[in-house]
Amino acid sequence: MLGKAGVDSPEVEAERLVMHVLHCQRADLYAAPERSLDQRQRKRFARLLARRLTREPLQYILGEVDFMGLTLSVSPAVLIPRPETETLVERALEFCRHTFAAGTPLRCLDVGTGCGNIAAALATYLPHSVVVAVDCSSAALAVARANLGRLRLGQQVRLVHADLREQDFLQKVGCAFSLVMANLPYVPAPALQALAPEVKDHEPLLALDGGPDGLDLYRVLIPLLPQLLSVGGAFFAEIGEGQGQEMRRLLARAGLVDIAVLPDLAGKERVVFARKGREEAQ
């Protein structure tokens, strides 16, 4: 049924729904293959399946997702964290390991935090650092707040309601960050219609629509980087295929150095890196 509805891995997803209904792990299903659903469980499964048949994302139905080993709640108020964003965070963590002595207290900024996945991963894997996590959506911030609370990271991450496009942005978030991370909306508006139904019909447009070429919000953020970053501090941003060249241009124009475009696991350009060099210190 799921296969006919256009779902990519119907068996895996059906299994996940059964596990959800039975509150069990995958191994439990195979340890007791004769086990069947009782009537209540069958009804519940049918309800969840009906939702998935409308191409509602599995993660919204289950209500949670795994991101870098952390379990995070998600709702339609936030974009579902993608495996590609793990590449973004891994690159940033690698940079920090190579650049700063272990245990150095860093100040990190996550612009457009959504469900708080990047902020939670930074706080977890850089336990001596503090993170400022910003979003312009208060509904998203409520999801992030719940996630950080559940992961006991509330002390380490400060959530800020601010809009990059407003005058008071810098004042609200602060400056002198060693690390600025951003997974801003970057889907070019003309490409929105071609996205999978799970994405275009269910995920928040606010977190996807990046304007005519997808880079509208990066065009607002990048000129602020010399103020947001400390000298030597790094910027890591997620982008889509074909956006590397324009990002390089924007970053160079803002005076950043060591600009690089890095691929994701599928070999597509996905991560943009740049640093604030010494010369901007004056």
**Which residues contact ligand GLN (rule: CB under 6 A)?**
82, 183, 185-187, 195, 199, 208, 238
Beta carbon of residue 184, minimum distance to ligand GLN (angstroms, whole number): 6
Q: Which two tokens stand for residue 274?
A: 């740049």
Cβ proximity to ligand GLN: between 24 and 199 the closer is: 199
Q: 107 or 202, CB closer to ligand GLN?
A: 202
Determine contact, residues 177/119, Cβ cutoff 8 Å: no
Of residues 13 and 264, the one with the C-beta less far from ligand GLN: 264
Of 41, 15, 51, 18, nearest to 198 by C-alpha is 51
Q: Is residue 271 packed enough to be buried (19+ CB in 10 Å), middle (13-18) or exposed (0-12)?
A: buried
Q: Provide the minimum distance between the beta carbon of 144 and ligand GLN in the complex, in angstroms, as a whole number.
A: 15
Residue 30 structure tokens: 């195979």
List all residues 6 or more positions away from 188 whose beta carbon is below 8 Å from its beta carbon: 210, 211, 212, 213, 214, 240
Nearer to ligand GLN by C-beta: 187 or 222?
187
Q: Is 12 helix (H, G, I), strand (E, B) or coil?
A: helix
Q: In terms of CB distance, is 135 or 238 closer to ligand GLN? A: 238
Least distance from C-beta 79 to ligand GLN, angstroms? 6
Residue 114 Cβ vs ligand GLN, minimum distance, rounded to whole Å:
9
Residue with Cβ nearer ligand GLN (106 or 184)? 184
**Residue number with CB closer to ligand GLN (121 or 208):** 208
CB atoms within 10 A of CB 98: 7
H helix count then E strand count, the chain: 12, 9
CA 142 to chain centre: 15
Q: Which is nearer to ligand GLN, 170 or 199 (CB)?
A: 199
Q: Report, in Å, the least distance between residue 166 CB and ligand GLN.
A: 20
Number of Cβ within a 10 Å radius of residue 129: 20
Q: How far is the CB of 46 from ligand GLN (least distance, A)?
A: 29
The rounded distance, in Å, linking the Cα atoms of 77 and 168 is 24
- One-letter amino acid at 9 equals S
Other CB atoms within 10 Å distance of the CB of residue 106: 18
DSSP codes, 62-93: HTEEEETTEEEE--TTSPPP-HHHHHHHHHHH
Least separation in angstroms between CB 183 and ligand GLN: 5
**Least separation in angstroms between CB 117 and ligand GLN:** 12
- What does DSSP say about strands 107-111 and 64-67: parallel, antiparallel, or unpaired? unpaired
